[in-house]
C-alpha cells in the first residue's frame, strides 16, 4: 500500500478522474444551453460500448495489419457519435417534442444502460465468451508520451497518461475559452439564461440547444470510452460505468458551471474514489464509506451554493425548462 502523498496516488487520481472530467464537461456544455440531461450515465454506456465495438470490429476486419492508434481513433469517433446520438434522442424529445427534461433524462439512462449491457454482452456471446481488443490497442490506452515519460518525477506525474487524459484537459481549456471569450459562447449562455431574450436577439435557440446537447453528449460518451478501454482494458464488464455518469452530474454543480473548476473537481473526485486504496485504516470494510465521500461533498457544495446565492455561481436560469416561442 502506497502513501497518500505519493506520485502514484496523483496518477491514480488523474486516471480515475478522467472519465468524470469528460462526463462533467459534456454535461456542463449541455446545461449551459438550459438542458438538464440526466442521461449522462446512459450516454456513457452508449459511448463505451460503441467505442469498444468500433475498435474490436476494426481489428477483426484489419486482422494482423491492425494498428492500435487507428483502433483508438475509430473507438473515439464511435464513442462520440453513439453518445451524441443518445443526446440527439433526448433533444428531439425535450426540445422539439417538449417532454419533461428530468423524465426524459432518466429514460435515456435506462435506455443507454440497457443498450450498453445488451450490446456488450451480445458481442461477447457472438465471439463465444467475451470480446477483448488486441494488446497494441490496449497499449494506446495505457498511454505515456515516449521519452518524456521516462523523466524523473515529472515524467510520471505529467507525461504518463493516455491521449484521452490530454484530450480532456484540452477540452476543459477550450470550453472555458469558448464560453467566456467567443460570441458563440456568449450566445449559448444567453440561451441557457433566458431563451426568450436570446430568441428576440435573433439567436436560433433550437439550433443552439440541439448542438450544445448533442456535442455535450458526445463528450460525455468519451468518459464511457475511457472506462471501457482504459479502466477495464478493452473488455466489456457488466454495469461497468457504475454511477460515474451521476457523479458527473454532481460535479457540474460542484464546479458551479465553470470548466476550470470542473477540471479541478474531477481530479479531486477521482482522488476521493481511489482514496481507500491509499488509506491505511479501515480496510475493505470501510471502502463503501470512502465511495460516498464525493456525493457528500457534492451535497455540501449544493447547499453552500444555495445559501450563498451569489449571482455568478447560480445554475443557468432556464435550466430544466422547455422553451416555446409561439405560446400564449
Partner 1 sequence: MSAQHIEHKEPLLRLAKRDDIARPKAWAIRAAAILLALVTGGLIILALGHSPIEVYGSMIGGSLSKGRALRETVKKAIPLLGTALAIAPAFKMKFWNIGAEGQILAGAIAASYFALFWAERLPKTVLLVVMAAAAVIAGGLWGLIPAAFKARWGTNETLFTLMLNYIVLGFVKYLQAGPWGPDLNPNGYPKIPMFAEAALLPKALGVHIGWILVLALTVLMFVYLNYSKHGYEIAVVGESVRTAQYAGMDVPAIVRRTMFLSGGIAGLMGFLQVSGASGSLTENTAGGIGFTAITVAWLAKLDPFVMIAIAALLAVLEKGADTIQTIYTIPASAAEMLTGIILFFMLGCEFFINYRVILRGKGARK
Partner 2 sequence: MGTGNYAIELRELTKTFGDVVANDKVSLALERGEILSLLGENGSGKTTLMNMLSGIYFPDGGEILVDGKPVTIRSPKDAHDLGIGMIHQHFKLVDVLTAAENIILGMKGKGRLDRKAVAREVRAISEKYGFEIDPDQKIYDMSVSQKQTVEIVKVLYRGANVLILDEPTAVLTPQETEKLFDVLRSMKADGKSIIIITHKLREVMEISDKVAVLRKGQYIGTVDTADTDPQRLTEMMVGRSVSLNIERPKTEYQDLRLEVKGLNCRRDDGVKALEDVTFQAMGGEILGIAGIAGSGQKELLESIAGLHKVESGHIFYYPPRPDSDLARTGLHVPTDKAGEELVGKTPTQIHQIGVSLAFVPEDRLGMGLVADMGMVGNMMLKSYQSGKGPLVDRKAPKALAEILKDELEIATPSISTPVRRLSGGNVQKVLVGREIASSPTVLMTAYPVRGLDINSAYTIYDLLNEQKKLGAAVILVGEDLDVLLELCDRIMVLCGGRVSGVVDAAKTTKEEVGLLMTHIPTDREEADA
Residues that bind partner 1 (CB under 8 A): 36, 38, 42, 89, 92-93, 96-100, 102-104, 106-118, 121-122, 125, 243, 246, 249-250, 253, 284-289, 291-292, 295-296, 298-299, 302-303, 306-307, 315, 320, 326-327
Which of 118/170 has CB closer to partner 1? 118
Q: What is the largest CA-CA distance in the chain?
A: 67
Binders of partner 2 in range 309-328 (CB under 8 A): 311-312, 314, 317, 325-326, 328
Among 57, 62, 70, 194, binds partner 2 (CB under 8 A): 194
Binders of partner 2 in range 143-182 (CB under 8 A): 180-182
What is the Cα Rg of the chain in Å?
20
State whether the Cα torsion 296-297-302-307 is positive or negative.
positive
**Cβ 280 vs Cβ 19: under 8 Å:** no
Residue 291 contact, options partner 1, partner 2, none, Cβ 5-8 Å cut-off depending on partner type: partner 1
The stretch among 59-67, 185-193, 219-227, 228-236 that binds partner 2 (CB under 8 A) is 185-193
Residue 320 contact, options partner 1, partner 2, none, Cβ 5-8 Å cut-off depending on partner type: partner 1
Among 123, 199, 264, 279, binds partner 2 (CB under 8 A): 199
DSSP β-bridge partners for residue 132: 235
Which of 152/202 has CB closer to partner 2? 202
The stretch among 86-94, 110-118, 197-205, 245-253 that binds partner 2 (CB under 8 A) is 197-205
Which of 185/320 has CB closer to partner 1? 320
The stretch among 24-32, 118-126, 156-164, 195-203 that binds partner 2 (CB under 8 A) is 195-203
Residue 196 contact, options partner 2, partner 1, none, Cβ 5-8 Å cut-off depending on partner type: partner 2
Binders of partner 2 in range 285-314 (CB under 8 A): 311-312, 314
Residue 184 contact, options partner 1, partner 2, none, Cβ 5-8 Å cut-off depending on partner type: partner 2
Residue 4 contact, options partner 2, partner 1, none, Cβ 5-8 Å cut-off depending on partner type: none
**Cβ 216 vs Cβ 28: under 8 Å:** yes
Q: How is 201-270 classified by DSSP, letter by letter?
A: TT--HHHHHHHHHHHHHHHHHHHHHIIIIIISTTB--TT-STTHHHHHHHHHHHTTT-HHHHHHHHHHHH
CB of 33 to partner 1, least distance (A): 17
Among 69, 118, 201, 304, binds partner 2 (CB under 8 A): 201
Which of 201/289 has CB closer to partner 2? 201
Contacts 24+ apart (CB under 8 A), 270-277: 270/12, 270/13, 270/14, 270/15, 270/16, 270/17, 270/18, 270/20, 271/9, 271/10, 271/12, 271/13, 271/16, 271/17, 272/297, 273/16, 274/9, 274/12, 274/13, 274/16, 275/4, 277/1, 277/2, 277/12
Distance CA 214, CA 80 (A): 9
Binders of partner 2 in range 211-270 (CB under 8 A): none
- Residue environment code for 157-185, b if the CB has 16+ CB neighbours within 10 A, otherwise e: ebbbbbebbebbeebbeebbebbeeeeeb
Which of 148/304 has CB closer to partner 1? 304
Distance CA 37, CA 260 (A): 21
Non-local (6+) Cβ contacts of 122 within 8 A are none
The site for partner 2 (CB under 8 A) is made up of 180-187, 189-190, 193-194, 196-204, 311-312, 314, 317, 325-326, 328
Amino acid at each position: 500500500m502506497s502513501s497518500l502523498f505519493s506520485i502514484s496516488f496523483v496518477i491514480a487520481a488523474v486516471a480515475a478522474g478522467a472519465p468524470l472530467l469528460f462526463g462533467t464537461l459534456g454535461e456542463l456544455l449541455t446545461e449551459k444551453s438550459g438542458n438538464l440531461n440526466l442521461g449522462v450515465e446512459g450516454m456513457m454506456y452508449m459511448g463505451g460500448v460503441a467505442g469498444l465495438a468500433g475498435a474490436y470490429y476494426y481489428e477483426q476486419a484489419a486482422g494482423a495489419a491492425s494498428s492500435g492508434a487507428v483502433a483508438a481513433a475509430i473507438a473515439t469517433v464511435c464513442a462520440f457519435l453513439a453518445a451524441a446520438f443518445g443526446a440527439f434522442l433526448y433533444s428531439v424529445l425535450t426540445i422539439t417534442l417538449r417532454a419533461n427534461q428530468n423524465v426524459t433524462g432518466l429514460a435515456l439512462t435506462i435506455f443507454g444502460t440497457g443498450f450498453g449491457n445488451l450490446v456488450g454482452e451480445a458481442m461477447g456471446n457472438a465471439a463465444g465468451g467475451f470480446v477483448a481488443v488486441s494488446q497494441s490497442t490496449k497499449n494506446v490506452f495505457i498511454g505515456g508520451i515516449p521519452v518524456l515519460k521516462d523523466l524523473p518525477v515529472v515524467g510520471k506525474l505529467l507525461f504518463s497518461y493516455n491521449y484521452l487524459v490530454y484530450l480532456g484537459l484540452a477540452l476543459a481549456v477550450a470550453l472555458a475559452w469558448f464560453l467566456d471569450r467567443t460570441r458563440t459562447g456568449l450566445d449559448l449562455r444567453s440561451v441557457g439564461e433566458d431563451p426568450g431574450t436570446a430568441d428576440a436577439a435573433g439567436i436560433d435557440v433550437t439550433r443552439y440547444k440541439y448542438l450544445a446537447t448533442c456535442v455535450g453528449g458526445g463528450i460525455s460518451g468519451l468518459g464511457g470510452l475511457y472506462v471501457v478501454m482504459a479502466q477495464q482494458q478493452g473488455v466489456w464488464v457488466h454495469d461497468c460505468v457504475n454511477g460515474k455518469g451521476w457523479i458527473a452530474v454532481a460535479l457540474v454543480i460542484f464546479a458551479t458551471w465553470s470548466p476550470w473548476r470542473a477540471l479541478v473537481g474531477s481530479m479531486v473526485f477521482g482522488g476521493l474514489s481511489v482514496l481507500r486504496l491509499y488509506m491505511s485504516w479501515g480496510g475493505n470494510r470501510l471502502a463503501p464509506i470512502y465511495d460516498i465521500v464525493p456525493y457528500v461533498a457534492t451535497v455540501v457544495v449544493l447547499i453552500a451554493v444555495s445559501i450563498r446565492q451569489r449571482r455568478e455561481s447560480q445554475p443557468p436560469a432556464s435550466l430544466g425548462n422547455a422553451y416555446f416561442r409561439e405560446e400564449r
